[in-house]
């Protein structure tokens, strides 16, 4: 029996997270690095027999023009994200993969992201339907040419401004029609990519807080095409810690009076979030968790600030003011100094492998068992990390 | 049907944790404070119908002479642990409760604790058996005079030096005999109290890292008398956080390279732990958790230092150095600024109520479902806080 | 020779800083507290023979109605700023002093402060000139009735919105005329108080970032009346640390790439600063220092956020990202947990005593030797704390 | 006129600080890096016309065998101390400089350092006098062959155990005699190197807390040979911050109740300090400063712990508990994350250039104006960093 061979299609394929994911996949294949950071390599998941990292072929869409190798150079040499021998061992492959990256769309991504896009991408004139058709064709061509068993599409593009989802069509048939009416279709790029993927039967993962596959009509499309999807907004740092720490305060009946979180970093994500419209999408996704976890809403503050010198090294300071027995106020503070792309990239690989395993097993619709990976898990009310992780372990037991 | 009325018998009844527990029980009864900090007041546990805080009568043993009211004054006015109106509302009761406190024993507690004890307690001449008989009689008298439905004995005394438990008798019949042979009996005070309590059929809680009811022979005694016990070393600060955070690193396959924890505080506990013999017992109890939680032993360091100016305000700084994807090193740090007694006292009340509920339901031996309260839970291998807490919730469902 | 006896006239006399100052002065007089925190009690300044704390009589203006004793209660019991025996020892005097507090003015203080003012103060109808005349008369009456050798006026009122000082009259004669033309006079309350004080020959201290005596025309008035003044914005926490730490980075030729400071607290000052107009005045005053100290402007961020649960306990987190030899990036972080009023109040007393000493010695105009007390020292370019403090010590040597 | 050309003779020439210094000197000469981190490049010091970094020739003594290039590889690739292009640009030169490094001595350096030394160095049999003669000859040969205008000797070797300096000869004539009596001569290696250097007329810099040139008799030797020296223990991190921050607490009359400092790192220095005898020398040097700076001794704690994963990245956490007005306790905490060698290396270069300038100007004995560089400045009572730095600036003005 031939070994399973799948593709990963990265939206935002030349961003920091995508580049780190690509470097990681190459380095894993060549044995230059170990599997630390990969959840899917924990013993729990061995029985699933997931696709190997060496058997994942890479392509994608991108709006920016800088070659992958240059991005990787910067991440390695300036940001010190990984060792130079890893970079050296991947350079040749990066150039090859670059050829698999097609021009994306910047439809309704907001002026900040648009201004950073390649002029050729910005100039493309097309209706939403034409965009979806073009993007889907790129994905299907890739799957065909590479003779893939499946193609998993992952949105890693910069955070778009929030969309008022109340105004969206609630049925796929209606939304489908509107794709041909540019003025009526307010769907941003992330949703067009989701439609392109799901319509072709490919699973879709929304790694960002952008709209993606969240609209009801797009969820219906996934059901119609009998494919699966999941999101949104991968949980890598401060929010991960919130979903680990807040349950402790709740279990000890300690009353959180205020929870202040300041995040500073200086990568492209930070530059995009410096635009208040884009930032709002992000902060909302981060801020909803406390009420879920504690059962009440303490005063809370989440700030995200672009500090150029930090680059990809996201630093968070959280100050938790809580009340204990006899009303005595006490404090916990933490700082988290993590490289955003290094934390995110292995989760991209984990999700690709796990989603592929689920798709192969015939699962359709939102994959709820993946909630532990997301800040705002689609269709899941459970926010406590340990319980979310247990959902994953339990699924693996059942599916393995 | 008459309302259930129980007693709590505090070993170390004039220490900071005991005094805060007593102030808390009085203040709860008088409605001066709310129930924040009490785990047993969470909705999960309402069906258990536990004894009310107003129905707990207080007595205990103590080796030190300072009146309760003076200790409470210091905790309120110098340490700022609770508001002055709480203190004012409790003063009269404290004087009454002081009369229920009997001289304890300082047998084999180490020179540091001995030096802090009242001279009358230090001068008591008795064999281990005589000590056990005296202590048990004090407990039984109290239970009889107060017409209690049950008496729960809680060890809150300062940490004793470690005992080599390999040299202890493994059967109760042998240990029992040795109680009359002072030279052969190496049991420290905490074990004598445990024997006194269990022999009388009273449940015993070891809130400290001292030996207590851990020896096999004493566990046998609990079985013989059909009573229950639990311990050891209540989890209130840094270790609680370890058992919450380490599972996250494990679940994300992030490799903890080193975990350094420095604890500074200046209460009596700190003065006792300033003696290396006593400190060793404590540090060992704190340090074992990481290996259990991670599956490997990273370099780890736990220091406890006596800094007088901090009093009861225990401050911990933890530095966690971990390796992520592509081998990239990252860091998390936290500081925890909590009042030790304020964190511990509600857990004493919780344990008393939960142990009473279990005893009433006929549970015998080690109460494993209480693991979430302890750093070194007797008879339990599970160290992950969220799973330990789930054990408690599940027990309540079954028992309620 | 009769002992010197002076008055301090507090603008914002029922605010937290003023109340703490008043409690402090009473407690010092009664021997309830020591002199810790008072710069003027350092041995350097003994030769000056400054007025004793027992010889300072207190009066002031205020726009809010809550009695001093209630404010003090809150600061003591809720905020835990000082011990209850200090409060008990001061209560009677607080009631007396309350009678020396007259209604102030809320002219051009912005809607946020106005909304917090007593309705009687808000309703006062008067031209700027009438306001100045009324305020000056209050001060002069107090000085006369109390038979004071001098009266020092200190602005402790909430921060006003910024004023565009380019539009202000540059000569006192012009500004004086405009006081009768309400539409043309854009001076906010702080400047009217300054004019009232200086016109009467009383020294004026601007403890806040509000306009105060900064306008050139008001500085001319001080010269004309041969009195002295100083400001602005007392340096108590994060900025104090900046003026101590930044010179170290400069002296070691370490390049500060970014300096991020987040301040959280929940007192009245915080509520007022929650209005962006008022906050801007503050943040500007805080942010200018780095360029002065380093010789270049690193990316810097200063945030001030109102977190109610913290009350007067101002917590700052600063993250300093700097580049060392061979371009290697390194980091320093600090947290500062201080009670704002406790840090500020002794400086009020210090300034009153030092300004009185200077006024007695005939010094006229801006008192530059007091730069170490201020974030934005009027007329002084030196921002390095150690050099500013040396200016104070040198002045004392010359003046003593 | 020929350009001045000097040599630097590094004791411990293959350690991390020395290697970083050497890489830095090469990289500066080749223009691969800028001058950030070099105090001597501040504008204050331009008038001194110091020797250029390109005109410093490198040699030294070492007890360990690992080639410089290997050490540099580790510092660059594993520790991420500097960029790989810097390393690449220096490799060829490192091999050349390696040939200028001669076997040192491990006399009385303690078993920990001895165990890390090359077996050939450990086996050298010689009296102290023979050692001094050999070491001096190595220095003189180098100076002659390289045709140097001067040679500056810098001790960068690992910290030796403390020596009881009361038992040392107080006159050079006596100490000189004892050099031939191995049993009576308790001088450790650092002092023998100092004698070798000074006896040859070369200036000596003690960058470490070891004994070096501190003994009175060795100071006399410097006078006799009309040369200069300075030390001890370069101030690079936590102690630097203490000498910057403690004066602020003193100037504000804030009472420091306790100052706790924990240092964790994992370089060779850390391994040596893991031996309590060696650590004592270090901790003593770090701990004396507070009393000098505050005028009283608060409870203080300095710990240094070897945490392997941190390598050269020294992390310090300091917790400062201080009392303000009305006795209110407050807190400051800081963390410092610096690469030890990156912080130290530029100071080596600064000291070499400044000592050379002083020697050229005929200064003899201890160079007190360099106090700002040291934790325990020889012959200087001033510990406040800003005043020490002013001493340096003032000297430069006078000397320039």
DSSP letter string, D59-93: EEEES--S-HHHHHHIIIIIS--S-HHHHHHHHHH
Task: Give the end-to-end CA distance of chain C in Å, rounded to a whole number.
Answer: 19
Judging contacts by C-beta atoms under 8 Å, the chain B residues touching residue D337 are 331
Q: What is the pLDDT of residue D268?
A: 73
| B-chain residues near C335 (CB < 8 A) | 335
What is the three-class DSSP state of C183? coil
- Asked if B346 and A338 come within 8 Å (Cβ–Cβ), the reply is no
Q: Indicate if the pLDDT at residue B232 is higher than 90.
A: yes
Give the model's confidence band at B287: pLDDT under 50 very low, under 70 low, under 90 confident, else very high. low
Closest partner CB to B319 (pick from D264, D303, D333): D264
Q: What is the pLDDT of residue C352?
A: 98
| Among chain D residues, CA nearest to A77 | D83
Q: What pLDDT, on the 0 to 100 scale, is given for residue C395?
A: 97
Give chain A's contact residues with D (Cβ, < 8 Å): 77, 80, 83-85, 335
* Predicted confidence (pLDDT) at residue A166 exceeds the cutoff of 90: no
Over residues A251-275, the mean pLDDT reads 87
Average pLDDT, chain D: 93
Count Cβ–Cβ pairs < 8 Å, chain A vs chain D.
Answer: 9
Residue range A160-185: mean pLDDT, rounded = 92
Q: Which residues contact C277 (CB under 8 A, 6 or more apart)?
A: C110, C112, C161, C162
Confidence of residue A282 (pLDDT cuts 50, 70, 90): low
Residues of chain C with pLDDT under 50: none
Per-residue pLDDT at B268 exceeds 80:
no
| Alpha-carbon distance A11 to nearest alpha carbon in chain B (angstroms) | 21
- Interchain contact, B309 vs D257, CB within 8 Å: yes
The answer to whether residue A107 scores a pLDDT higher than 70 is: yes
A264 contacts on C by Cβ (under 8 Å):
258, 260, 301, 319
CA distance C101 to C9: 9
**Which of B326, B339, B388 is best to mutate for the A interface (most A CBs within 10 A)?**
B326
Distance from CA of A169 to the nearest CA of C (A): 39
Predicted confidence at residue A215, as pLDDT, reads 96
pLDDT > 80? residue D346: yes
Across A58-75, average pLDDT: 95
Give B91 to chain A, closest Cα distance, Å.
16
* Cα gap B323→B320, rounded to integer Å: 10
Q: Are the C-beta atoms of residues C322 and C332 closer than 8 Å to each other?
A: yes
Tell me the CA distances in angstroms from C216 to B131, C132, D256, one per residue in order.
Answer: 85, 18, 41
Q: How many CB atoms lie within 10 A of CB A201?
A: 15
Amino acid B289: pLDDT: 84
Residue count (chain D): 400
With CA atoms as reference, the chain D residue closest to C346 would be: D325
Please check the confidence at residue B365 and state whether its pLDDT lies above 70.
yes
- Please state the rounded mean pLDDT for residues A275-295: 73
Closest approach of chain C CAs to the CA of B336, in angstroms? 13
**pLDDT at residue B271, as a whole number:** 73
**Inter-chain touch C309–A264, beta carbons under 8 Å:** no
Dihedral sign of CA atoms B76, B81, B82, B87 in order: negative
pLDDT-based confidence at A283, cuts 50/70/90?
low
**Contacts B–D by Cβ distance under 8 A:** 61
Q: What is chain A's mean pLDDT, rounded? A: 93
Task: Compute the mean pLDDT over every residue in chain B, rounded to the nearest whole number.
Answer: 93
ipTM higher than threshold 0.90: yes
**Residues of B whose CB is below 8 A from C83:** 77
The whole-angstrom distance between C91's CA and the closest CA on chain A is 25
**Which 3 state secondary structure label does DSSP give D104?**
coil
Q: Identify all chain D residues contacting A85, using CB atoms and an 8 Å cutoff.
A: 77
- How far is D258 from chain B, CA to nearest CA, in Å? 7
- The residues, ordered by sequence, that sit 6+ positions from B294 with a Cβ below 8 Å of its Cβ are B246, B249, B250, B256
- Can the peptide bond before residue D232 be classed as cis, meaning omega within 30 degrees of 0? yes
Residues from chain C that touch D389, judged by Cβ atoms under 8 A, are 251
Contact B335 A332 (CB under 8 A): yes
**How remote is the C-alpha of D202 from its chain's centroid?**
16
Q: What is the pLDDT of residue D289?
A: 84
Q: State whether B84 and C84 contact (CB < 8 Å).
A: yes
Q: Find the chain A residues whose C-beta atoms sit closer than 8 A to any C-beta of C.
A: 257-258, 260, 262, 264, 299, 301, 303, 305, 307-310, 315, 317, 319, 321, 329, 331, 333, 335, 337
D13 pLDDT band (50/70/90 cuts)? very high
From CA C11, how far away is CA D171, in angstroms rounded? 68
Handedness of CA C111, C114, C120, C123 (dihedral sign): negative
Model pLDDT, residue C399: 81
Q: How sure is the predictor about B267, in pLDDT bands with cuts at 50, 70 and 90?
A: confident
SS3 B15: coil
How far apart are the C-alpha atoms of C34 and C32, rounded to whole Å?
7
Residue A340 pLDDT: 94
pLDDT at B110 over 60: yes
Region B372-384: mean pLDDT is: 95
Nearest to C307 among A258, A308, A333 (CB): A258
Tell me if D37 and C252 make a contact (CB, 8 A cut-off).
yes
- The neighbours of chain A, by the rule of 3 or more Cβ pairs under 8 Å, are B, C, D
How far is B67 from chain D, CA to nearest CA, in Å?
Answer: 26
pTM, two decimal places: 0.94
At residue D180, the pLDDT reads 94
Gap from A65 CA to chain B (nearest CA, Å): 26
How far apart are the C-alpha atoms of D222 and D199, rounded to whole Å?
7
DSSP per residue over C77-96, as a string? IIS--S-HHHHHHHHHHHHH
How far is the alpha carbon of A355 from chain B, nearest alpha carbon, in Å? 17
The answer for B36, left when phi > 0, alpha when psi is -120 to 50, beta otherwise, is beta
Nearest in space to D135 (alpha carbons), one of D10, D22, D231, D228: D10
Nearest CA distance, B158 vs chain D (angstrom)? 23
- The band of A284, judged by pLDDT with boundaries at 50, 70 and 90, is low
At A377 the pLDDT is 95
Grade residue B400 by pLDDT with cuts at 50, 70 and 90.
Answer: low
Judging contacts by C-beta atoms under 8 Å, the chain D residues touching residue B321 are 307, 309-310
Which among B81, B86, B324 has CB closest to A36?
A: B324
Categorize the per-residue pLDDT at D260 as very low, low, confident or very high, splitting at 50, 70 and 90. very high
Go through chain C and tell me how many residues it has: 400
The size of chain A, in residues, is 400
Question: In this predicted model, what pLDDT tens digit does every residue of D188-198 receive, in sequence order?
Answer: 999 999 999 99
8 Å CB contact between C219 and C263: no
Q: Do B325 and A334 touch (CB under 8 A)?
A: no
* Cβ distance of C327 and D245 shorter than 8 Å: no
β C101-103/C204-206 pair status: unpaired
SS3 C311: coil
Coil, helix or strand at residue C30: coil
Query: Contacts of residue D264 in chain B, CB cutoff 8 Å?
Result: 258, 260, 301, 319
Q: What is the CA radius of gyration of chain A?
A: 21
The mean pLDDT value for D330-350 works out to: 97
pLDDT tens-digit profile of D153-169? 999 999 999 898 788 99
For chain B, list the contacting chains (3+ Cβ pairs, <8 Å). A, C, D
Q: Closest partner residue to D307 among B260, B264, B315, by Cβ?
A: B260
Range picked from A196-200, B79-83, D236-240 for highest mean pLDDT: A196-200
Instruction: Specify the DSSP class assigned to residue B234.
Output: B
C303 → closest Cβ in A303, A319, A329: A303
- Cα nearest neighbour of B256 on chain D: D309
Could you give the C-alpha distances from C109 to A107, B184, B280, C125, C188, in angstroms and in order? 46, 81, 61, 15, 6
**What does B239-295 look like in DSSP terms, one character per residue?**
HHHHHHHHHHHHHTT-EEEEEEEEEEE-SHHHHHHTSHHHHHHHHHHHHTHHHHHHS
pLDDT computed for residue B277 by the predictor: 67
pLDDT digit string, tens, across residues B63-78:
998 999 999 999 998 8
- Beta-carbon contacts of D96 under 8 Å, excluding residues fewer than 6 positions away, are none
Q: For a pLDDT cut of 90, what percent of chain B falls above it?
A: 82
| pLDDT tens per residue across span A32-59 | 999 999 999 999 999 999 999 889 999 9
Sheet hosting strand B204-206, strand order edge to edge: B101-103, B56-62, B6-11, B150-155, B204-206, B228-231, B365-366
Kindly indicate the confidence band of residue A281, based on its pLDDT and cuts at 50, 70 and 90: low
What average pLDDT does the segment B44-62 reach?
94
- Write out chain C residues lying below 8 Å of B335, CB-based: 335
Q: Do B80 and C84 touch (CB under 8 A)?
A: no
- pLDDT at residue B172, as a whole number: 97
pLDDT at D34: 96
First to last CA, chain A: 19
Contact check, Cβ <8 Å, A84/D80:
no
């Amino acid at each position: 029996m031939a070994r399973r061979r799948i593709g990963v299609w990265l939206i935002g394929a030349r961003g920091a997270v995508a580049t780190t994911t690509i470097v990681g996949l190459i380095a894993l294949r060549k044995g230059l690095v170990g599997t630390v950071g990969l959840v899917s390599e924990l013993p729990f998941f061995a029985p699933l027999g997931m696709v190997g990292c060496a058997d994942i072929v890479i392509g994608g869409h991108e709006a920016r023009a800088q070659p992958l190798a240059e991005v990787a150079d910067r991440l390695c040499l300036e940001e010190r994200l990984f060792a130079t021998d890893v970079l050296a061992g991947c350079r040749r492959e990066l150039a090859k993969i670059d050829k698999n990256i097609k021009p994306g769309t910047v439809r309704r991504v907001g002026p900040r992201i648009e201004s950073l896009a390649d002029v050729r991408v910005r100039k493309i004139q097309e209706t939403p339907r034409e965009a979806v058709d073009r993007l889907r064709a790129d994905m299907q061509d890739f799957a065909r040419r590479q003779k893939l068993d499946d193609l998993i599409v992952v949105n890693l593009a910069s955070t778009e401004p929030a969309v008022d989802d109340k105004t969206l069509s609630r049925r796929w048939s209606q939304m489908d029609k509107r794709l041909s009416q540019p003025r009526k279709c307010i769907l941003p790029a992330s949703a067009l990519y989701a439609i392109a993927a799901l319509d072709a039967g490919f699973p879709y993962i929304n790694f960002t807080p952008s709209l993606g596959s969240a609209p009801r009509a797009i969820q219906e499309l996934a059901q119609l095409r009998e494919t699966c999807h999941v999101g949104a907004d991968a949980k890598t740092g401060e929010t991960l810690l919130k979903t680990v720490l807040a349950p402790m305060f709740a279990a000890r009946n300690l009353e959180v009076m205020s929870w202040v979180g300041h995040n500073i970093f200086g990568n492209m994500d930070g530059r995009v979030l410096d635009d208040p419209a884009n930032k709002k999408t992000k902060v909302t996704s981060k801020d909803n968790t406390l009420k879920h976890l504690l059962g009440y809403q303490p005063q809370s503050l989440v700030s995200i600030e672009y500090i150029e010198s930090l680059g990809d090294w996201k630093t968070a300071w959280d100050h938790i003011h809580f009340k204990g027995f006899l009303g005595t106020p006490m404090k916990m503070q933490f700082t988290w100094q993590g490289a955003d792309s290094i934390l995110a990239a292995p989760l991209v690989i984990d999700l690709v492998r796990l989603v592929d395993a689920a798709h192969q097993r015939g699962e359709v619709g939102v994959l709820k068992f993946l909630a532990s990976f997301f800040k705002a898990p689609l269709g899941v009310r459970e926010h406590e990390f340990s319980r979310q992780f247990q959902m994953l372990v339990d699924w693996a037991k059942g599916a393995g």
